């Protein structure tokens, strides 16, 4: 097979907010930049983000970046790296204004300033009263940001490869990343894109769980590509379950609903969050609210014939507020839960939402790995930003509104760092044909049809296994069994049966490649979770219910070969202020 080749200064894999923000920085600097996306850019999952983006603009209540930093460190259950968190929170206000200047139609206050709503885990004055920090475009903030960034990229002449699927990274013997092998989904033809830098911005892996808020495309491909290139994944045991997914369906009802004044009720009509978080109540951190709902249901106070969910009440906000501030939520509730929230509460239950772990990076977006007996080193030419990366600003639990911020802040930072890198690395390095062949082998392997089960069956089994063995609450024996089940699925995947004509209908091959990625990420998650013998943030371990800072205040690194784990310290030292030492986390 002849392999078409193209050359660019910079390759960006992923056209969500993270990839587009980085690409824009590069294209505006006149770098020759290509963006590859497996879906049309504006269908990337950023489009689904509802509630908003955090920045201490203080438009509604007093605020400053230092309080935002404190809340983020506390929300992360002290696993977040404080230098990166400081960097993000300090940059936030300017980047919201910059987005506004790019054309993002933020909602407005009466005085014309950008509208901000309260979100979970936000406080004034280091743990005091509730703050209002989340800048919103109604409940379609991600849609507004993604479309604006796409338009700005078109204007800056970024080159797009729409509906191309990235297979694997290409690297040379000295460890430089030289681009990637991608597949034109429509024609089935592979394409080699050579680049002096490659940035992974492929989003999260919510599809490893059955009930989730994520699009079907969120299969964590970039993280799996990193694993296969020998790069470890960091903190994969920390997977966020959002408290308010539509019960039985999983679609997200934004925290913005509770920010606007909505609250949760159990079968007794009790506003139960007052018991779990007396001060913050329904706006406690997501891990806290998810666990509270799961406990209410487990102890028999769930609602409905199967007592398997709770209710989110917002009718008291009035039709005007709901129509103006939460129009998308009303649509979703009517479509998927068959209730109009203007009149009736929405049935909700926690649902898998956000991948806190990912490809380890520093605050410039460079992928960094520890090398034997030396401190961590950047992998030359490789960057990662957004949900596929772990910088780590979210630690063990992300605060709502901090992810849209993360993708914009670190997308821009990576773009700036790449501009400097390109000045020092002006020429393409010679290509390593062995690495190209290895990537091609992954592709051709999925042209051969096995005799076993269908790809769809394995996908469902992975999702069921992860939900059952590695969900909101975890137990040592259940996790161990989960690792075994996932290893069995690995064997079953090897003999998977592709649909007939898979060479013509490429979707079958794409699905197989995605399921292989899901499996590798599911294994990373359950193996990392099995090893962590404490409870912290989203990792709630029934046998080890307390946080253990003496033994476990450290990041996990999972390597694919033999499922090996290593650990590295949390960066506790911020850039310019005093650090926030670990304290009991009370809301």
Ligand X SMILES: Cc1cc2nc3c(=O)[nH]c(=O)nc-3n(C[C@H](O)[C@H](O)[C@H](O)COP(=O)(O)OP(=O)(O)OC[C@H]3O[C@@H](n4cnc5c(N)ncnc54)[C@H](O)[C@@H]3O)c2cc1C
> Is 286 among the residues known to form the active site?
yes
Distances, alpha carbon 240 to alpha carbons 214, 233, 508, 525, 546, in Å = 12, 16, 30, 12, 18
Residue 513 or 553 having the CB closest to ligand X: 513
Using only the alpha carbons of the chain, give its radius of gyration: 23
The token duo for 477 is 């024996």
Give residue number: closest CB to ligand X.
16
**What is the 3-state secondary structure of 57-80?**
CCCCCCCCHHHHHHHHHHHCCCCC
Which residue out of 286, 363, 412, 547 is catalytically annotated?
286
Residue 178 or 257 having the CB closest to ligand X: 257
Binding site for ligand X (CB under 6 A): 13-19, 36-39, 44-46, 48-53, 141-142, 165-166, 201-204, 213-214, 217-218, 221-222, 252, 254, 354, 386-387, 400-404, 407
CA distance 201 to 106: 24
Residue 47 or 479 having the CB closest to ligand X: 47
Give the residue among 284, 218, 225, 215 at the shortest CA–CA distance from 442: 225
User: Position of tokens 């406990």?
Assistant: 295
Give Cα 259 distance to the centre of its chain.
21
The token duo for 211 is 């009930």
CA distance 187 to 14: 20
DSSP state letter for 23: H
**Residue 400: which residues within 8 A CB-CB, separation 6 or more?**
51, 119, 120, 121, 134, 254, 255, 286
In the complex, the smallest distance separating the C-beta of residue 534 from ligand X, rounded to whole angstroms, is: 26
Residue 193 or 553 having the CB closest to ligand X: 193
**Residue 185: which residues within 8 A CB-CB, separation 6 or more?**
38, 163, 164, 165, 506, 507, 510
CA distance 513 to 379: 25
Residue 53 or 294 having the CB closest to ligand X: 53
The token duo for 463 is 């999702």
SS3 (DSSP) at 561: helix
Residue 17 or 350 having the CB closest to ligand X: 17
What residues act catalytically? Answer: 286
């Amino acid at each position: 097979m002849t392999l078409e080749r193209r050359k660019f200064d910079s390759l960006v894999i992923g056209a969500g907010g993270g990839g587009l923000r980085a690409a824009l920085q590069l294209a505006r600097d006149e770098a020759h930049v290509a963006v590859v996306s497996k879906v049309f850019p504006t269908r990337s999952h950023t489009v689904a983000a509802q509630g908003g983006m955090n920045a201490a603009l203080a438009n509604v209540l007093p605020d400053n970046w230092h309080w935002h930093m404190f809340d983020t460190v506390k929300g992360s259950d002290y696993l977040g790296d404080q230098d990166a968190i400081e960097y993000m929170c300090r940059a936030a206000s300017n980047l919201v204004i910059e987005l506004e200047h790019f054309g993002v139609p933020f909602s407005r206050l009466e005085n014309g300033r950008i509208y901000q709503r309260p979100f979970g885990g936000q406080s004034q004055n280091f743990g005091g009263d509730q703050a209002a920090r989340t800048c919103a475009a109604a409940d379609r903030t991600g849609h507004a940001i993604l479309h604006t960034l796409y338009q700005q990229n078109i204007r800056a002449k970024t080159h797009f490869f729409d509906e191309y699927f990235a297979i694997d990274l290409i690297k040379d013997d000295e460890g430089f990343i030289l681009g990637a092998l991608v597949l034109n989904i429509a024609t089935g033809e592979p394409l080699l894109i050579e680049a002096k830098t490659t940035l992974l911005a492929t989003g999260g892996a919510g599809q490893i769980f059955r009930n989730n808020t994520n699009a079907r495309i969120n299969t964590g491909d970039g993280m799996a590509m990193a694993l296969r290139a020998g790069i470890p994944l960091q903190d994969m045991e920390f997977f966020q379950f959002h408290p308010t997914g539509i019960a039985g369906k999983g679609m997200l009802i934004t925290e913005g609903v509770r920010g606007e004044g909505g609250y949760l009720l159990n079968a007794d009509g009790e506003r139960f969050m007052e018991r779990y978080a007396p001060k913050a109540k329904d706006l406690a951190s997501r891990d806290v609210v998810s666990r509270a709902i799961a406990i209410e249901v487990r102890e028999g106070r769930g609602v409905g014939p199967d007592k398997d969910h709770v209710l989110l009440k917002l009718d008291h906000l009035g039709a005007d507020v709901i129509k103006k501030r939460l129009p998308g939520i009303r649509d979703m509730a009517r479509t998927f839960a068959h209730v109009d929230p203007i009149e009736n509460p929405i049935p909700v239950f926690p649902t898998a939402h956000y991948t806190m772990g990912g490809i380890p990076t520093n605050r410039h977006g460079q992928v960094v790995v520890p090398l034997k007996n030396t401190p961590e080193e950047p992998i030359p030419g490789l960057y990662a930003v957004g949900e596929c990366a772990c910088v780590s600003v979210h630690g063990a639990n992300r605060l709502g509104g901090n992810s849209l911020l993360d993708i914009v802040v670190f997308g821009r930072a990576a773009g700036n760092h790449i501009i400097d890198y390109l000045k020092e690395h002006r020429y393409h390095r010679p290509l390593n044909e062995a690495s190209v062949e290895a990537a091609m082998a992954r592709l051709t392997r999925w042209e051969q049809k096995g005799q076993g089960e269908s790809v769809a069956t394995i996908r469902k089994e992975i999702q069921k296994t992860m939900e059952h063995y590695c969900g909101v609450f975890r137990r040592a024996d259940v996790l161990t069994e989960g690792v075994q089940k996932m290893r069995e699925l690995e064997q079953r995947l090897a003999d998977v049966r592709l649909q007939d004509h898979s060479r013509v209908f490429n979707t079958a091959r794409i699905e197989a490649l995605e399921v292989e990625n899901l499996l590798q990420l599911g294994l990373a998650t359950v193996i990392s979770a099995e090893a962590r013998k404490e409870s912290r943030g989203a990792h709630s371990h029934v046998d080890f219910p307390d946080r253990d800072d003496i033994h476990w205040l450290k990041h996990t690194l999972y390597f694919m070969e033999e499922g090996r784990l290593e650990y590295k310290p949390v960066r506790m030292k911020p850039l310019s202020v005093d650090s926030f030492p670990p304290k009991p986390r009370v809301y």
